[in-house]
């Protein structure tokens, strides 16, 4: 979506629609828009629109107005507001407009919204507007491609950087969503690797792909054990952004990229298994973040590692009770082959640690337990460095992606000890599944390296259409990572 800035006020914009946000019953417009505010209030006075979060309404504008339509979008009440609702409202407004055949939109360059700066508003609203144009129609034979959309921020803008970043991040979201939503037969590890290579070339990143032979030579027994039951070979994809600060240590982002998760020998129930195409969403968030980082040309060097594998119950599949060796030399008793993501991440974290990073952050659709704990309202974050966790939580708040810290007590590490190997991939008691999974991962991060784990199992995709997006991948995590990394240095 093309984002531009115009000095002319919102009421003077000759577009298919102007978008105005409401917080409850209050239209949010900057000073100097009294006439427009009065007109908008009259439209919604007797309408069903009440400014609730995710709610939108479309009205025709009188001939005296240059725009054809008015779209109002709700943020909910002030007491319930968080930044993600602004991005969702912008997406919902554009989505509603696109459904009515519109392609050009305008919104005020700034609004009065408690706790949201002008730059944050432009980033959230611009990025949300871009997300509102997305449709996954690859396999719909009767789909007609809609024309490209545009958005103008109307009025004075102090600094154009936020609008430029919104366009860069919006483009990255739309590009990666097409891969994130592909089913397992269309997105095996090899295809993910090919897409990553093409994306890297287009955005000035370097890309290295380790295949089965290289992974075997390196001793990456975790990811290889996951792929054993599949006809598809595993791939470890390593993307690098050089950055402009040549003296800085790199930040390493690690993403679980299980392209389809049947559970392996520990087979999942058939109901809902089709959604396991989205077990690659940790890697998809890293792919998106790396493209955002490259397009914004951030100073900090960043490495993205995707451990891509398919978990299937073939004749060579890893069995419960098998013992494997990870890249860092630790042995693991595989008690449950459906706890496979942590085996993939074990090798990826080992490789990340060798890069002597400033910090490592991994993202994964790792446990059902996190959904029990937090639902889809937030993702869990755990780690070994409180400063890093605080930064990620703060960046998530700014980016509209909420994180909630869970503890990482020694008790959870004790749960992961095995009678027959160094570790087991399942806790002895079966409780605290999110924390014990993180405790397992911590065993592959050397002391002295700040590390955080983000479990996105409850936030990585939606199973039914929302006002702001269709069913499918959300790419949760990419926004907060871009926010955090762009603030470094």
342 is catalytic: yes
As a whole number of angstroms, the distance between CA 334 and CA 424 comes to: 6
Helices 161-180, 189-203: inter-axial angle, 10-degree rounding:
160
What does the pLDDT look like over 292-331, one tens digit per residue?
Answer: 999 999 999 999 999 999 999 999 999 999 999 999 999 9
Give the Cα separation of 27 and 414 in Å (integer). Answer: 54
State pLDDT tens for residues 113-156: 999 999 999 999 999 999 999 999 999 998 888 899 999 999 99
The CATH code of the domain at 183-486 is 3.40.630.10
Kindly name the residue from 268, 325, 330, 466 that is annotated as catalytic: 268
CATH topology of domain 2-159: 3.40.220
- Across the chain, what does the average pLDDT equal? 97
The one-character DSSP state at 466 is B
Alpha helices in 403-468 (DSSP H): 410-415, 433-442
DSSP 8-state secondary structure symbol assigned to residue 10: G
- pLDDT at res. 216: 98
**Which position among 235, 342, 402, 479 bears the catalytic label?**
342
Indicate if the pLDDT at residue 46 is higher than 90: no
b/e for 120-146, b at 16 or more Cβ within 10 A?
A: bbbbbbbbbbbbbbbbbeeeeeeeeee
- pLDDT score recorded for residue 451: 98
- Alpha-carbon torsion, ordered 212, 213, 217, 221, to 10 deg: 20
How high is the pLDDT of residue 489? 64
| Whether 172 contacts 1, CB under 8 Å | no
Percent of the chain with pLDDT over 70: 100
Bind-site residues for Mn(2+): 256, 261, 279, 338, 340
CB 12 within 8 Å of CB 95: no
Closest CA to 379 of 405, 361, 356: 405
- Residue 397: CA atoms inside 13 Å, Cβ hemisphere, count? 12
Does the annotation count 98 as an active-site position? no
Written as six digits, the tokens of 441 are 């991962």
Do residues 232 and 189 touch, judged by C-beta distance below 8 A? yes
Please state the domain extents for the chain.
2-159, 183-486
In the predicted structure, residue 92 carries a pLDDT above the cut 90: yes
Tell me the pLDDT tens digit for each residue of 49-89: 999 999 999 999 999 899 999 999 999 999 999 999 999 99
Write out the binding residues: 256, 261, 279, 338, 340
In the predicted model, is pLDDT for residue 405 greater than 70? yes
408-459 tens-digit pLDDT = 999 999 999 999 999 999 999 999 999 999 999 999 999 999 999 999 999 9
End-to-end CA distance of the chain: 29
pLDDT at 144: 85
Per-residue pLDDT of 467-482, as tens digits, reads: 999 999 999 999 999 9
The answer to pTM > 0.85 is: yes
């Amino acid at each position: 979506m093309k984002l531009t800035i115009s000095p002319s006020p919102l009421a003077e914009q000759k577009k298919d629609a102007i978008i105005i946000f409401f917080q409850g019953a209050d239209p949010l417009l900057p000073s100097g828009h009294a006439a427009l505010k009065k007109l908008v209030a009259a439209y919604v006075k007797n309408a069903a629109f009440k400014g609730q979060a995710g709610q939108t309404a479309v009205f025709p504008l009188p001939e005296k107005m240059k725009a054809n339509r008015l779209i109002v979008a709700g943020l909910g009440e002030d007491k319930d507001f968080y930044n993600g609702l602004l991005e969702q409202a912008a997406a919902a407004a554009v989505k509603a407009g696109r459904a009515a055949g519109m392609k050009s939109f305008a919104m005020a360059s700034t609004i009065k919204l408690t706790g949201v700066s002008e730059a944050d508003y432009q980033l959230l609203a611009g990025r949300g507007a871009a997300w509102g144009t997305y449709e996954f129609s690859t396999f719909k034979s009767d789909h007609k491609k809609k024309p490209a959309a545009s958005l103008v921020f109307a009025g004075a803008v102090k600094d154009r950087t936020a609008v430029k970043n919104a366009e860069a991040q919006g483009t990255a979201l739309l590009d990666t969503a097409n891969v994130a939503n592909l089913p397992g037969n269309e997105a095996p590890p090899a295809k993910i690797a090919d897409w990553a290579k093409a994306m890297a070339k287009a955005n000035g990143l370097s890309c290295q792909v380790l295949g089965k032979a290289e992974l075997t030579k390196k001793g990456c027994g975790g990811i290889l054990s996951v792929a054993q039951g599949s006809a598809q070979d595993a791939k470890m994809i390593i993307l690098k952004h050089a950055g402009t600060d040549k003296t800085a240590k790199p930040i390493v982002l690690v993403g679980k990229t299980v392209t389809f998760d049947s559970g392996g020998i520990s087979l999942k129930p058939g109901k809902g298994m089709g959604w396991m195409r989205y077990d690659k969403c940790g890697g998809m968030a890293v792919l998106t973040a790396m493209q955002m980082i490259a397009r914004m040309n951030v100073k900090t060097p960043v490495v993205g590692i995707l451990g891509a594998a398919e978990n299937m119950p073939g004749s060579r599949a890893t069995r419960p009770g098998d013992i494997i060796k990870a890249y860092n030399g630790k042995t693991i008793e595989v008690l449950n082959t459906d706890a496979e993501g942590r085996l993939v991440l074990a090798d990826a974290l080992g490789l990340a640690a060798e890069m002597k990073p400033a910090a490592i952050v991994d993202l994964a659709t790792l446990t059902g337990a996190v959904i029990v704990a937090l639902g889809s309202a937030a993702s869990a974050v755990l780690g070994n460095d409180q400063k890093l966790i605080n930064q990620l939580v703060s960046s998530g708040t700014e980016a509209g992606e909420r994180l909630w810290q869970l503890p990482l007590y020694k008790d959870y590490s004790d749960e992961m000890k095995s009678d027959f190997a160094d570790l087991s991939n399942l806790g002895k008691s079966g409780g605290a599944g999110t924390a014990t999974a993180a405790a397992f991962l911590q065993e592959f991060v050397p002391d002295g390296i700040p590390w955080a784990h983000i479990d996105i199992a409850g936030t990585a995709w939606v199973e039914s259409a929302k006002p702001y997006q269709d069913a499918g991948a959300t790419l949760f995590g990419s926004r907060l990572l871009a926010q955090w990394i762009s603030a470094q240095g």
